[in-house]
Structure 1
Amino acid sequence: MQRLDVFLDGQAAPVGTLSRADDGAVSFRYLRQDLPHPLSLSLPIRDAPFGDVPTRGFFDNLLFENAMRDQVMQKHGIAQTDIVGLLAHLGRDCPGAISVVPEGEGPGKRPGNLETDYTALSAEDLETIMRALRDHRRLPETSDDPSPLAGVQGKLAVTVLPGGQVALPRAGSGAPTTHILKVPRRRDLRLVAQEHALMTIAASLLAHPVAQTKEVGQGDLRGLLVTRFDRSVRGAKVHRIHQEDFCQALSLGPHLKYQRNGTGARQFSARAAGHLLEHCSAPAQARSAFLEGTVVNLLLGNTDNHAKNHSLLYAYDPTGRPQLAPLYDIVPTLIDDQVTHQLSFDIGAAQMADTITARDLERFAQDLGYRSLTAPMRRRLVALTQAVVDRIPEMRGPSHKRLGDGFAEQASALAAALALDLEIPPRDLVVLNRP
């Protein structure tokens, strides 16, 4: 039997225990009932322990497929399925506001002080780190990654100090970061400007918050600095805000982030998302944000809008109910010829954007919890489609021209489903990769 303590940021005592039995089965049990919120909608606060399936559904999503995980597995002889053994080494700074550590070790995370808990990076240090992320998708050999992150691009969690300097938490401080620095490979350099453009457009169209982004660097060494929405900065104090992605909230392993990989109740779908939204502190607002956010993702060419790209944020509500987190990771996957363009979850019966019909939009709204797609809702979707079409002429130059091609492709499909007669500027065709 192996046991780990589970802490919430700012709590001196563990909130629960994660265990692995001798037969490999894992379980989680709360140690306290007075918590401000549960760790997950899939793990409501109760006395009885949770068994293997719901426990793995939450904690397996804290482990990323990256070099650090591989190194720990090889060095300590830990199996890939042994999430407790892996978290014993990697759980001090996992996603959200929790830390998972060996019994008796104490919390791996603590609130930070911008004046004392961070080391500013010089321009040369930052350039060295960005080059390593660009060329090797990891930090230089002499550095330890203080907060490993998932994704195709090289990423590093950093803190931006009040003066604008990029900094890292001091070793052993347990202090939170405030931003994520994403640095693509040299051949994918256009992703920086493209993702920033899509995030900026989405923020201008939606009432729901969108994560803030900023381009950094120059020439062949550029990155995207993303402000973390799961942080609270007040004066010099930095606190983590607990969050979980939709896979965790639905008790689904990371492989099931796409609807096509699941089956029956064990899949991410619009109906499953609607169930989560109903548990939010403001269900109607969350439902509207998810509906409109999904349509904007489609219009902007992001077909990779999977369950791990949606999160619930546990903050500000005295009942402990979460709110839908800001939108993030809006990337133009439609212009990537190397990936499938099948939707991450079905819109009605449609698995591709260009097959969406009026009936599919109606079913999508119903799956989210609406009785029907009402006339005001339809007018809103029409306005969003028109707004994206209006942006197409602006999409010029090496990094933006193909974005406009994607906008035109997607807007044509949505306009047909909405019976909307739109004049869409002619652009080059986008080749769709079907399942």
Structure 2
Amino acid sequence: MARLDLDVFFEGTHIPIGELSRLDDGSCTFRYLTDTLPHPLSMSLPIRDEPFNDLQTRSFFSNLLFENAQREQVMQRHGIEFGDVVGLLAYLGADCPGSISCVPKGNGPAKLPGDLQHDYDALDDSQLKQIMTSLRDFRRVPDETGDPSPLAGVQGKIALARLPDGRFALPKPGLNVPTTHILKVPRPGEMTTVEQEHLLMQMMADLQPHPVAETSVLGEGDLRGLLVTRFDRRVEGNFVRRIHQEDFAQALGFGPQLKYERNGTSGRCFNAIAIRSVMEGTMVPGRSRQAFVEVTIANLLLGNTDNHAKNHALLYTAQRPDFAPVYDVAPVLIDDQVLHQLSFNIGNANMTDEITGSDIAEFILAVGFPRVTSPLLQRLRSLVASAVHRIGEMQGPVQKRIGDAIAEQAKWLSAALEADIEIPDRDAVIINRP
């Protein structure tokens, strides 16, 4: 296997910040080319002179490659193996997620800020409807539509820019400028998930003070989508720029296969101790810890047990990052076809109905709190009470099952927190165990 070197850029930089290499033996390495950077590429790749080894390099950069049709097409067309991270990024790295790009040596920076007045082609209503229909029916955009950004997940998605006049647009061909929104369109027969996820995102914002990505419902009838405002963008006047971000798997130096605690091994898994190490590296660790604990309890209350390492992120606006806004709050518990095991254990519990008071205390200490205080426990009880207060209003085909899931989860969490909260009787929720 021949050596291959790629330049790594942040958006807006005119010289490479680093070099990503595939060596003759197939191993990977990354090294910084400058130490005058506003922040590192990753918490797991701190700025230093020495190059990073294969495991360190592969763990971060493999998270930039989604297992989608575009990756499969590149593999087949160019004869690249699944594990050849650098070889795949040579073709896909100009448009990989976030503010970074990985391009062949000498090609120059791939990502630039966008001018909303000149760098985008507006979509009329019929074009937007055609895109949404294709996402609903075929899980991809129409063949004649350039997909401006790769997006992970099982739903049909497209990245869009919203112009100052409110219209949606796509970057002009050949311009790798930022988008501002993500539009997710479910399959036929699953349209209620749009309002359900929108409701849960709103409830997450109501339950706790940490920022939550803004969402709205686009379309009507049998063609609806969830529109999500990107938190990793900065719009100033007519100009839009990317903000560097990474998910917790990248920050921890874990490949995407380790996004659940159950898939890791002792000392190398997404657990409370790993979460603590990420929180300690943020701009304000105490604030981040508080937010993470509250977000975790809120996720469980809302039936979202799929809050894995790639569903939490860090946002870099300075040398040390901030805990990014909450995103992807999905009503997992009402899906009878998926596992409802927790993404990471709460103490010794890996199912909500196993959580005890000692488990919650152990989790609080493990993520970095020096002690378990009465005000913190009272705060968590208030989260449960606030969620339970909403159950009575949840009726009809969109909201009823979410109310059922909240009642199920609140029953166990209120008991663990010794909260005197009356939980209304609701229909049983089917719990899928390991």
TM class by shorter chain equals over 0.9
Partner of 1:381: 380
Matching of residue 360 in structure 1 with residue 359 in structure 2:
yes
Give the counterpart letter for 1:377 in structure 2.
L
Matching of residue 328 in structure 1 with residue 327 in structure 2:
yes
Give the counterpart letter for 1:330 in structure 2.
V
Deviation at 1:270, TM superposition (A): 1.3
Give the counterpart letter for 1:357 in structure 2.
T
Partner of 2:305: 303
> Any unmatched runs of 5+ in structure 2?
none
Deviation at 1:231, TM superposition (A): 0.3
Q: Deviations over 1:71-129 (max 9, x none)?
A: 11111111000011111111112112101111111111000111111111011111111
Partner of 2:415: 416
Give the counterpart letter for 1:388 in structure 2.
A
- Identity over aligned pairs, percent: 59
Partner of 1:184: 186
Q: Which secondary structure does the structure 2 equivalent of 1:407 belong to?
A: helix
Deviation at 1:272, TM superposition (A): 0.4
> Any unmatched runs of 5+ in structure 1?
none
Q: Which secondary structure does the structure 2 equivalent of 1:35 belong to?
A: coil
Matching of residue 63 in structure 1 with residue 65 in structure 2:
yes
Matching of residue 227 in structure 1 with residue 229 in structure 2:
yes
Deviation at 1:144, TM superposition (A): 2.8
Deviation at 1:172, TM superposition (A): 1.7
Q: Deviations over 1:223-274 (max 9, x none)?
A: 0010000000000111100000000000101010000000012211111011
Partner of 2:133: 131
Q: Partners in 1 of 2:354 and 2:417 — Cα distance?
A: 12
Give the counterpart letter for 1:2 in structure 2.
L
Partner of 1:425: 424
Give the counterpart letter for 2:13 in structure 1.
Q
Q: 1:72, 1:86 within 8 Å by CA — same for their partners in 2?
A: yes
Partner of 1:156: 158
Q: Deviations over 1:261-298 (max 9, x none)?
A: 00012211111011110110111110000000000000
Q: Partners in 1 of 2:208 and 2:168 — Cα distance?
A: 29
Q: Deviations over 1:180-225 (max 9, x none)?
A: 1111111221110000000001111211100000100111110001
Q: 2:407, 2:426 within 8 Å by CA — same for their partners in 1?
A: yes
* Pick aligned residue for 1:14 from 13, 16, 20: 16
Q: Partners in 2 of 1:84 and 1:137 — Cα distance?
A: 27
Q: Which secondary structure does the structure 1 equivalent of 2:183 belong to?
A: strand
Q: 1:347, 1:360 within 8 Å by CA — same for their partners in 2?
A: yes
Q: Which secondary structure does the structure 2 equivalent of 1:167 belong to?
A: strand
Q: Deviations over 1:30-67 (max 9, x none)?
A: 00110000000100001110010010110000000111
Deviation at 1:171, TM superposition (A): 1.5
Q: Partners in 2 of 1:265 and 1:15 — Cα distance?
A: 31
Deviation at 1:423, TM superposition (A): 1.2
Deviation at 1:421, TM superposition (A): 2.3
RMSD of equivalent CA atoms: 0.8
Deviation at 1:419, TM superposition (A): 1.1
Give the counterpart letter for 2:365 in structure 1.
Q
Q: 2:97, 2:150 within 8 Å by CA — same for their partners in 1?
A: no
Q: 2:148, 2:176 within 8 Å by CA — same for their partners in 1?
A: no
Give the counterpart letter for 1:246 in structure 2.
F
Q: Partners in 1 of 2:425 and 2:366 — Cα distance?
A: 34
Deviation at 1:372, TM superposition (A): 2.3
Partner of 1:171: 173
Deviation at 1:347, TM superposition (A): 0.4
Matching of residue 81 in structure 1 with residue 83 in structure 2:
yes
Q: Partners in 2 of 1:36 and 1:62 — Cα distance?
A: 21
Q: Partners in 2 of 1:150 and 1:120 — Cα distance?
A: 24
Q: Which secondary structure does the structure 1 equivalent of 2:398 belong to?
A: coil
Q: 1:361, 1:373 within 8 Å by CA — same for their partners in 2?
A: no
Give the counterpart letter for 2:422 in structure 1.
E
Deviation at 1:371, TM superposition (A): 2.0
| TM-score, scaled to structure 2 | 0.99
* Pick aligned residue for 1:237 from 223, 236, 239: 239
Structure 1 residue runs of 4 or more that deviate by more than 4 Å after TM superposition: none
